[in-house]
Structure 1
Amino acid sequence: MRARHLAAALAAAAVALAGCSGDPDPAPSSTSPTPTPSPAITVKGADAALTRAVAKVYAGKTGVTATAHLGTWKRKKVAVVTSGKDVTLAVGPSWKVVGGWWPSLERRASLGKGPRFVLVIGSDARPGEPLKGTRGDTLQIVGIDGKGGGGIIGMARDIWAPMPGGGEAKINAAFAYGGGKGQVETVRAVTGLPIEGYVVTGFGGFQKIVNKSGGLPMKVAEKLVFLGTTTVKKGKQVLSGKSALAYARERKSLPDGDFGRSAHQGDLLLAAAVAARVQGPSVIPKEMTLVSKFAESDRTATEALTFVASMYKVSPGKVGHTVAKGGFGTSSDGQSIVILDDESKQAFVKFKDGRL
């Protein structure tokens, strides 16, 4: 996905987005009795209710000019209001301020309590095929520590894991058994990480998000050919939806097979985070609108908005990336499986603070 739109999915950002992260308290709720909008603040593109909510943040300050950037998440209105380097996050329709950061007021950022984790799932659903009953072939855990750091752990799809409702199978089968909730349950059990929710899309949704956002700029280390039909060249480029999907799916030509494929999927997320930071937080509402159209998530507008915004506070140099893997084995029914190694288990422990 194009970086900024993929970031919105994280938390979604995967994707990506924290029901148990605590409610931010940057300003009084706009649902309480409010005064008439103050002439001391002007919010371009905002209605009276949103202007009142933002005015409370700047209570006592005059001459403030801001701009509202609007969008939707699961049919609920979201807004990012920018004024210089200040960012105010709000959710409608009554417009409650739910987070943000305000250097002009010398106030700390309010984006929920860290660390926070979201699972980004890429279903193997083909274009036009429903997600239900498919497998979660892309499993990337995105974490942030709330202090400018973060991390991404890719989960190899053949890891042997407990399934929702009992029994064991390859980890990617959990999505077929229990949907996004079931897949999160299984990944939590394997990693011990308090993953808060998920964002999931299929092949078709992934390509549409990439194409409608203008492509994903990234540097590809080595040329690859997917199924003999799609070539992704080496070097800096802007990947189309088709090329990005090929990069995320190819494994047979990679020396480490599925482990390398999972690493490629993490590469896409890292490229997304970098480009998102360049674009700036004003694009978040547009991103969220696009992603919610072509992806599914269990996150509310408040949870998604604050998690996505948190990605803009992360320094790319403080984001580690690894793949959970291990040795090969055989299940009781003859399947080739991956048995997690100690190094991967130690990575889960290290990641509990939201940073690798």
Structure 2
Amino acid sequence: MSERRAARTAADAVAVAHRSARRKRPFLVALIATLGSLLGVATVIAVTASLFVGGLARSFDDRTTTLPDAFPSGPRPAATDGAQNILLIGSDSRAQDDPDGDRAAGGRSDALMLAHVPADRDAVYLMSIMRDSWVEVPGRGRAKINAAYSWGGVPLVVQTVEQLLDTRIDHVAEIDFAGFRDMTNALGGVTVRSPSDFTARAGTHFSAGPNRLDGDAALTFVRERHAFADGDHTRVRNQQAFMRGVVDGVLSKGTITNPGRIQDFVSATSEHLSVDPGLDFRTLAGLGWSLRDVRSSDLVTFTMPSAGGGTSPDDQSYVTLNDLAVQSLSQALRSDDVATWLEANPQ
């Protein structure tokens, strides 16, 4: 077992030490598991399409929206040799202003995650960035990170994250939250493990442990934060739990052996999906092949380190980031050694 794998096990309690002794799964199944974990509701459908049914791959490319200006202009951080950083945005496009009191009109990035794929392809690291994180938004000053989407769309979100972490974003995938609902229904429901027992503001109750959700309940589950004393902290854990539930649903025998269900899943999700021009199914297939030995248990989820909260001069409550920990995380991303950083910064 490699030192990197040992470090990851200690940091995140991921049971991978016995991986080599487990029976190998078919390439397609392993690939779906890996990419499902990697990009959640986005790229798993592209890889499934490209390697399972070629016609579905063409349908994916036809249905998804390409973001021609996904990346900011001007100087950007250098790429990390061999590694990939993929920004995942769950957006919420609305006609009304400020429904949650966060001063962000219209569309917002309600879920923000960074998927780091190391050069050795030994794991996939998925980091949640809390939407209320108080950061420097280029050209706008200090604000909650989700305001960047409202002010400048995907390019400003990318620029904000790149500046925050001094790390280059290689690809972007954005899905509207309506896609969470539709893809859940296309799978016939998703089972998620809730870290706590709670009742959402809409009245839906979720028990600690496994919950079988339809599309509407899944949308409520990933968006609820008012029920929690720690607000966004539990919400991002719920979003991570939902993504694991999607992976399990895609990997289930009822999906893998059912072309009609795969078709429904591809159609339902791709209608709500936008990607940068380089993130087509051929690119994803190549990435998936490089990750062929990685399993869903090799997904490591964590949250950008925070240090309590604060209140802005205009009375916005926000999450304060742990600057020292973020700086060391930035270095770990650039040096492609997130496993060692997690060992030193357990969550």
TM-score normalised by L of structure 2: 0.64
Verify the 8 A CA contact 1:6 1:269 in the aligned structure 2.
Answer: no
C-alpha change, 1:8 and 1:253, in structure 2 (3 Å) is same
Mapping of residues 288-327 of structure 1, within 5 Å: 288-298=266-276, 299-307=279-287, 313-324=293-304, 325-327=306-308
Q: What amino acid is the match of 1:240?
A: D
SS of residue matched to 2:146: helix
In structure 2, C-alpha distance between the alignment counterparts of 1:115 and 1:192, rounded to whole Å: 15
Mapping of residues 155-304 of structure 1, within 5 Å: 155-276=129-250, 286=263, 288-298=266-276, 299-304=279-284
In structure 1, C-alpha distance between the alignment counterparts of 2:338 and 2:252, rounded to whole Å: 21
1:164-184 deviation per Cα after TM superposition (whole angstroms, max 9, x unaligned): 544332100111122122212
Q: What amino acid is the match of 1:144?
A: V
Greater gyration radius: 1
1:68-109 deviation per Cα after TM superposition (whole angstroms, max 9, x unaligned): 5531333189xxxxxxxxxxxxxxxxxxxxxxxxxxxxxxxx
In structure 1, C-alpha distance between the alignment counterparts of 2:32 and 2:181, rounded to whole Å: 12
Choose from 108, 111, 114 the match for 1:141. 114
Identity %: 23
Q: Which residue of structure 1 aligns with residue 39 of structure 2? A: 12
* Residue 62 of structure 2 is aligned to residue 75 of structure 1: yes
When the two chains are superposed, the root-mean-square deviation of aligned CA atoms in Å is 3.9
- Pick the structure with more strand per residue: 1
Q: What runs of 5+ residues in structure 2 fail to find an aligned partner?
A: 1-30, 45-49, 65-80, 98-104, 340-347
In structure 1, C-alpha distance between the alignment counterparts of 2:96 and 2:54, rounded to whole Å: 32
Q: Which shows bigger deviation, 301-310 or 332-341? A: 301-310
SS of residue matched to 1:227: coil
TM-score normalised by L of structure 1: 0.62
Displacement of 1:134 in angstroms is: 0.7
Q: What amino acid is the match of 1:233?
A: S
SS of residue matched to 2:55: strand
Verify the 8 A CA contact 2:42 2:173 in the aligned structure 1.
Answer: yes
1:180-227 deviation per Cα after TM superposition (whole angstroms, max 9, x unaligned): 222122112112332222222233222112112222233333332111
Q: Which residue of structure 2 aligns with residue 329 of structure 1? A: 310
Q: What runs of 5+ residues in structure 1 fail to find an aligned partner?
A: 18-49, 51-65, 78-112
Q: What amino acid is the match of 2:325?
A: E
C-alpha change, 1:116 and 1:128, in structure 2 (3 Å) is farther
- Pick the structure with more helix per residue: 2
Q: Which residue of structure 2 aligns with residue 94 of structure 1? A: none
Displacement of 1:302 in angstroms is: 2.7
1:239-263 deviation per Cα after TM superposition (whole angstroms, max 9, x unaligned): 2112222221222222422112112
Q: What amino acid is the match of 1:220?
A: S
